[in-house]
Structure formats: structure tokens, C-alpha cells
Amino acid sequence: MTATAGLTESMEDYLEAIYQLQREREVARVKDIAVRLKVKMPSVSNALIALKQRNLVEHEKYGYVTLTREGLARAEHVYQRHQAMTRFLSDILQLDEDQAEAEACELEHALRAETLRRLVAFIDFIERCPRGGATWLRHLSGRWEDLPCDGDCEKCIAAIEVPERHPFLPREGSEKAVTLEELTPGQRGRVLRVSGEGGVRRRIMDMGVTPGSEIEVERIAPLGDPIEVKVRGYHLSLRKGEAAQIAVELE
């Protein structure tokens, strides 16, 4: 078992559920955790006792559940693993979203930190490489039913078309690229690139905001920060500074 620092797979699932609920609703309740994980409320209570003993959550009876600093760090790691595996299964292997989500839940617990880092780098490379990207992946989709190899590598390679242009440049005739912070609620577009310092850029991309993905602004806080968006079926909260690093082509 390779659960995070000695945690069981079940504990990791609880941490991830609490993390997602806090991102989506700002607070996590026992009832909401039970609904998300499809378990009974007494099971949630027992799990919270175990997590509290490890100083990963704070919870008083009948109160909200919150992650401690250590709990937040571990939950983010679990969430990033899940996102990376889901992206790999849905974007690269092109499984349907429901199947990718279900299998990611089963496979994510087996990933070690270095494997996760390399998997994210691989996905990034495939999606951003001028000889890869969305066009390359569309060609790949036609080969899932043609897996047997006849040994003629040159013939196989010759059949693979190479895009003549970078897949994540604005399409000809499209509007000039804008940053995500310039969009208003209801507007959507296609992510062209993510800029910024390494750590910030990696965090944004680990959340699924990668070149080629569709993104929609759902809500902007009264003071303009944070910005709530939907990408790859997930609801995310981005700081205004982070949104300024994301170049988007409007639909």
C-alpha cells in the first residue's frame, strides 16, 4: 500500500472529499461528506475521529469539518494525484468521463510522488508539444480498435500525420487571446497557455487548467477576487493573479 505517509486509502478519500467540499462550499459538513462518499454518517464520524487523532482535521460535534495545515497539504497531494490520473485516462487514453473518474479513484492510491510528478509532466508534454496536442490526440483516437501490430513500423509511422502548426495558437480568424481575468460570468473559451512562475504555473495546471481545455467563468466575487470557474467538469476557485496568467481564446 502506498497511501500518503501511512494513511489508509479510505482516509485519503475522506481528506480529498473534505478538500473538495471546502473548495466548492467553503465548509464541509458530516452529511455532505457522507453523500459525496456514499457512506453512512456514523462511518464519517469514525473516520473523522481517526483523522483528528492524526492532527489532520478539526471537528467538534455537530460542527463544521476543517483541514489543519498538515491535513490541507496531504489533501492537496491526494487531489492532485486524482486529477492527474483522471486527466491521463480521459485526455490521453480517451476513456469516457464516468469511466475515467471511477478508475482514477481506484488507481490513484498506487501512485508515489515521483510517479505522479512524471505522469503530470508526460501529460503536459503530450498536450503542449507542437507535434502533439489536440490534433495528435484525435489521430490517436482512431487507433484504439487497431491495436494489433503487423511489424511494419515504417508503415505505421508514415500513417501518423504531424500537425503543421502548434495546436495551442489562436485559430486563424479568431479574436485576439485574452486573459481569464478579463472574462465575465457566463463567458467561456479554450485555454491557450499558462504563464507565471514555476510553482504557480504548476499548481494551476495540476488543477486541470491546461492548454486545450475548455474553461467557463461561473462567478466573480464582489471585489473581483476570487474567480469561480468550471474546467473539465470541476468547479475551481482561482485568485485574480492566477487568472491573469491564463491566456484564453474566446468561443
Q: What is the pLDDT of residue 168?
A: 45
Q: Which residues, in sequence order, are CB contacts of 11 under 8 Å at separation 6+?
A: 3, 47, 50, 51
Q: How many CA atoms lie within 13 A of 200 on its CB side?
A: 13
DSSP for 107-130? HGGG--HHHHHHHHHHHHHHHH-T
Q: What is the pLDDT of residue 14?
A: 93
C-alpha cell at 128: 503542449
3-class secondary structure, 249: strand
Considering only the C-alpha atoms of the chain, give the largest distance between any 2 of them, rounded to a whole number of Å.
66
Q: What is the pLDDT of residue 67?
A: 93
Q: ω into residue 222 within 30 of 0, thus cis?
A: no
Q: How far apart are the first and last CA of the chain?
A: 44
Q: What is the pLDDT of residue 6?
A: 72
Q: What is the pLDDT of residue 145?
A: 62
Q: What is the pLDDT of residue 39?
A: 93
Q: What is the pLDDT of residue 203?
A: 75
- Classify residue 141 by burial, with Cβ atoms within 10 Å: 0-12, 13-18, 19+: exposed
Q: What is the pLDDT of residue 153?
A: 61
Any alpha helices (H) in the chain, and if so which ranges?
Answer: 9-25, 30-37, 41-53, 69-87, 97-107, 113-128, 133-141, 153-158, 198-206, 240-243
C-alpha torsion angle, residues 91, 95, 97, 102 (rounded to 10): -110
Structural domains for the chain:
4-74 (1.10.10.10), 178-250 (2.30.30.90)
Q: How many CA atoms lie within 13 A of 109 on its CB side?
A: 17
Cell 464541509, located at residue: 28
Query: What are the per-10-residue average pLDDT scores of the chain (251 residues)?
Result: 65 91 86 92 92 91 88 87 84 83 80 77 72 66 60 59 47 64 87 72 77 86 83 83 84 73
Q: What is the pLDDT of residue 2?
A: 43
